[in-house]
Chains A and B, each alone.
Chain A
Amino acid sequence: MDAILLQILNGLDKGSAYALIALGLTLIFGTLGVVNFAHGALFMIGAFCAVTLSRLLSLSFVTIDETQTDFLGNPLKVETPYVEAWFGPETGAAIIDWSVPLAILFSIPIMALVGLFMERGLIKYFYKRPHADQILVTFGLAIVLQEIIKYFFGANPIPTPAPDAFAGSLDFGAMIGMDPNVIIYPYWRIVYFLFAAGIIGAVFAFLQFTTFGMVVRAGMADRQTVGLLGINIDKRFTFMFALAAVVAGLAGVMYAPINSPNYHMGMDFLVLSFVVVVVGGMGSLPGAVLAGFLLGILESFASMAQVVALLPGINQIIIYLVAIVILLTRPRGLMGRKGVMES
Chain B
Amino acid sequence: MATLLFYILGAVAVAATAMAVTRRNPVHAVIYLVNSFFALALIFYLLGAPMVAALEVIIYAGAIMVLFLFIIMMLELSPGEDADRQGPVPLQWLPVLLLGAAILGCTLLLLQLDPAAGQQLPRWYASPRDFGYTLFHEYALAVEIVSFQLLFAAVGAFYVGRAAGTKEPLGGER
Q: A and B bound? A: no
Q: Write the residues of chain A forming the contact surface with B, with a CB cutoff of 8 angstroms.
A: none
